Amino acid sequence: MRNIFLFIRRYFNLILFFSLQVFSIYLIVNNSEYHHAVFGEFSNRITGKVNTKYNNVIQYFYLQQTNDSLVKANESLYNKLKANYILPDSVSKLVIDSIRIDSVLQYRKYSYLSARVVSNSVTNQSNYIVLARGKSGNLREGMGVVDLNNSVVGIITEVYDDYSVVMSLLHKDSHISGKLLKSGETGTLAWDGKEPNMITLNNISKSAKINKGDSIITSGFSTTFPKGLMIGRVDAIFTEVSNNYYKVKFRTTTNFHNLQYVYILDNADQQAVNGILNKLNNQH
């Protein structure tokens, strides 16, 4: 308290000066319409700038919550895509009840499940991605994984209670089937472990017409991914001297350096089809 009195005593004249200045401004603003309007405009401008800065700070701290809500919203939208449904085989049916509005839900083939990326590598020969979703979130081995733009990321290889492991396209043992969108030629993807986001499409016949920038999509020849998902775009084409195939280098449309959220594709027919294939393989 003593220090406060000493401060006032020392700077009394300065404090009195500023107090009189503020009082004078108050009298001018309140007794003059022009000055009142000018002061109001000035104060609104300052207040607006302060509020903008404050809102930017608040929004920064809510980015995580916003991202989570957007991912959930996209999951819902992806699950409504026409491509995720298959029509029933009605050839042998004489009557189909057309009144049941929600009957299409019986024939949903692909469902999208969102997950957060908790670990990701891009510089190793064998790169894996760990997701914060597992058996408790209805995940299982062999499910396909795509990014927020519906581009291929990899395949789930291990599943735990609350986490799962994805074999990235940037893995030496990843051999997903890819297809050239324009020509329809199908090949196998392989990563040489050198440059992230650059993968090779092998076994493309030299008779195929390929141009730089052509799209590479999923072939649909597996139960993991539906046909037509983006994988990448052709960056360079090399001729193999020892055989009749091209080696096509392409850049992935998935940015593996910045994966934060992904979607897992749940194929309703996957387990049944894989069971049939395993049975046939065991017989031979």
For residue 271, what is the domain's CATH number?
2.40.10.340
Query: pLDDT at residue 231 above 90?
Result: yes
Q: Is residue 26 in a domain? A: yes
204 in helix, strand or coil? strand
The mean pLDDT value for 220-239 works out to 89
Query: pLDDT at residue 145 above 90?
Result: yes
Q: Are residues 153 and 41 located together in one domain of the fold?
A: no
The mean pLDDT value for 100-123 works out to 73
Q: Are residues 175 and 38 located together in one domain of the fold?
A: no
Q: Are residues 228 and 149 located together in one domain of the fold?
A: yes
The mean pLDDT value for 135-149 works out to 91
Q: Are residues 55 and 143 located together in one domain of the fold?
A: no
pLDDT of residue 178: 92
Q: Are residues 132 and 272 located together in one domain of the fold?
A: yes
Q: Are residues 30 and 161 located together in one domain of the fold?
A: no
Parent domain of 47: 2-61
Q: 56-65, 67-76, 190-199: which range is least confident on average? A: 56-65
Domain count, the chain: 2
pLDDT of residue 72: 66
Confidence band of 217 (pLDDT split at 50, 70, 90) = very high
Q: Are residues 230 and 170 located together in one domain of the fold?
A: yes
Closest CA to 250 of 182, 162, 190: 190
Q: Is residue 207 in a domain? A: yes
CA 52 from centre of chain: 29
Kindly report the pTM of this predicted structure: 0.64
Closest CA to 196 of 232, 160, 224: 232
For the chain, strand residue ranges (E) read 110-120, 126-131, 144-146, 152-159, 164-171, 177-180, 186-190, 198-205, 215-218, 230-239, 245-252, 261-267
Q: Are residues 46 and 184 located together in one domain of the fold?
A: no
Q: Is residue 132 in a domain? A: yes
Q: Is residue 12 in a domain? A: yes
Q: Are residues 79 and 8 located together in one domain of the fold?
A: no
Q: Are residues 31 and 118 located together in one domain of the fold?
A: no
Q: Is residue 19 in a domain? A: yes
pLDDT of residue 36: 62
pLDDT tens string 260-274? 889 999 887 777 766
Q: Are residues 48 and 157 located together in one domain of the fold?
A: no
pLDDT of residue 97: 39
pLDDT of residue 189: 93
Q: Is residue 93 in a domain? A: no
Q: Is residue 123 in a domain? A: yes
Q: Are residues 25 and 114 located together in one domain of the fold?
A: no
pLDDT of residue 98: 41
Longest dimension (CA), the chain: 103
pLDDT of residue 242: 81
Q: What is the DSSP string of 129-191?
A: EEES--GGGT--TT-EEE-TTSBEEEEEEEE-SS-EEEEEEEETT---EEEETTT--EEEEE-
pLDDT of residue 252: 94
Q: Is residue 97 in a domain? A: no
User: How far apart are alpha carbons 122 and 53 in whole angstroms?
Assistant: 37
pLDDT of residue 31: 75
Q: Give just the sign of the alpha carbon dihedral 139, 142, 147, 153.
A: positive
Q: 10-19, 153-162, 174-183, 270-279: which range is least confident on average? A: 270-279
